[in-house]
């Protein structure tokens, strides 16, 4: 166990960089939206919804996750979903978030791009009133085709100035980064920030990380802690200030452990590794809980936790002035806590 208090971690100013908006759908909201939209669900109570959370790897998680989105229909449903997340993480003193959304998970159900986009975007604007700077990262589903990714990239055109970056998620098995080389190169040349999931312990994890870094030229890797297996890649991300967004509690659900050892090793080597919640409604863990989980598991020091938190601000896709302001808030909080 760590000797760091829960209060210290909850109150530290924080950033979250690996968060799927669709993964913040809490059972209560799911039930409410199902009723509002006249969608017949087999589950009638929170307990019954939670009883469907049976997963032990990424594929079995995604098989629960995608059908759960059926209750999201109208613009205000997407707004309410995102707003509920922002309100929740305000309690964790989160100051800055970059959130993923999955257009193809909605268009393939007949929901228009502007419906979910306008709802999500309005919530990011209203998050400012909660003291949170929020940005959107549009992800492609890697188990769909390159053609579909390009189609959605085109569909998003009217909204480009409200999208910060482009990501890649869903099932990595047989869907490596190079399948999307062209669309990511296009996005990069159009000025978007780019990142990709390199999920834990996949077939070809190291090759996929190498291709994402060297061929695609990603600026971050989501998960990606298998990189510890290849020192040349570790040296490369350190030299190029490329961050990794690790999600310990998510890892503990879809792999055999939270990969805390890898996180600590990367942290000690100077990699910009960060701690995030991924899909907090499904894994019952918001960002502070993830930090506490990994701190307990690895007996992290207060300095380690502060470094993990600062790493997230340091690799955030916002202005240098904003980053410095957030880092100052962290320093001031730590100093005031220590003076207590």
Fill in the per-residue mask, 222 to 251: x = in contact with ligand HPA (CB under 6 A), - = not in contact. Answer: ----------------------------x-
CB of 129 to ligand HPA, least distance (A): 27
Is 23 a binder of ligand HPA (CB under 6 A)?
A: yes
Token digits of residue 309: 């938190």
Q: Which does 170 bind (CB under 5 to 8 A by kind): ligand HPA, Zn ion, none?
A: ligand HPA
Is 169 a binder of ligand HPA (CB under 6 A)?
A: yes
CB of 159 to ligand HPA, least distance (A): 21
In the numeric block, the tokens 């695609």 are attached to 216
Q: What is the DSSP string of 189-227?
A: HTT-EEEEEE-TT-TTHHHHHHHIIIII--SEEEE-GGG
Choice between 260 and 280, CB closer to Zn ion: 280
CB of 175 to ligand HPA, least distance (A): 10
* Site residues, Zn ion (CB under 5 A): 278
Segment (H or E) for 62: helix 58-68
**What residues form DSSP beta bridges with 133?**
96
CB of 158 to ligand HPA, least distance (A): 25
Is 199 a binder of ligand HPA (CB under 6 A)?
A: yes
Using alpha carbons only, give the angle 228, 231, 237 rounded to the nearest 5 degrees: 80
Q: Which of 14, 20, 193, 220 binds ligand HPA (CB under 6 A)?
A: 20
Is 278 a binder of ligand HPA (CB under 6 A)?
A: yes
CB of 276 to Zn ion, least distance (A): 8
Whether 193 and 219 have beta carbons less than 8 Å apart is answered as yes
What gap in Å lies between CA 23 and CA 280, rounded to an integer? 6
The sign of the torsion formed by the CA atoms of 71, 73, 74, 76 equals positive
């Amino acid at each position: 166990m760590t000797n760091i208090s829960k209060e210290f971690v909850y109150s530290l100013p924080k950033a979250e960089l690996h968060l799927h908006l669709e993964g913040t759908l809490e059972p209560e909201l799911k039930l409410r939206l199902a009723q509002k939209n006249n969608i017949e669900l087999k589950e009638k109570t929170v307990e019954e919804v939670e009883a469907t959370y049976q997963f032990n790897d990424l594929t079995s998680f995604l098989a629960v996750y995608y059908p759960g989105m059926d209750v999201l229909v109208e613009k205000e449903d997407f707004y309410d979903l995102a707003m509920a997340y922002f309100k929740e993480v305000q309690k964790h003193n989160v100051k800055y978030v970059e959130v993923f959304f999955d257009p193809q998970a909605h268009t393939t159900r007949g929901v228009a791009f502007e419906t979910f986009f306008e709802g999500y975007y309005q919530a990011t604007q209203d998050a400012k009133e909660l003291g949170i700077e929020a940005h959107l990262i549009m992800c492609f589903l890697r188990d769909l085709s390159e053609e579909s990714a390009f189609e959605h990239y085109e569909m998003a055109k009217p909204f480009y100035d409200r999208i910060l970056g482009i990501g890649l998620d869903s099932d990595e098995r047989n869907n490596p980064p190079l399948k999307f080389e062209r669309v990511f190169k296009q996005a990069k040349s159009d000025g978007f920030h780019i990142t990709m999931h390199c999920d834990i312990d996949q077939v070809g994890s190291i090759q996929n990380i190498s291709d994402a870094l060297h061929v695609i030229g990603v600026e971050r890797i989501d998960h990606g802690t298998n990189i510890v297996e290849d020192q040349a890649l570790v040296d490369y991300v350190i030299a190029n200030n490329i961050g990794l967004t690790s999600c310990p509690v998510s890892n503990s659900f879809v792999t055999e452990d939270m990969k805390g050892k890898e996180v600590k090793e990367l942290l000690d080597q100077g990699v910009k590794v960060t701690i995030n919640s991924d899909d907090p409604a499904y894994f019952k863990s918001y960002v502070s809980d993830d930090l506490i989980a990994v701190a307990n598991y690895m007996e992290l020091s207060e300095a380690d936790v502060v470094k993990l938190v600062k790493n997230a601000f340091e690799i955030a896709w916002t202005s240098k002035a904003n980053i410095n302001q957030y880092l100052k808030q962290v320093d001031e909080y730590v100093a005031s806590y220590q003076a207590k």
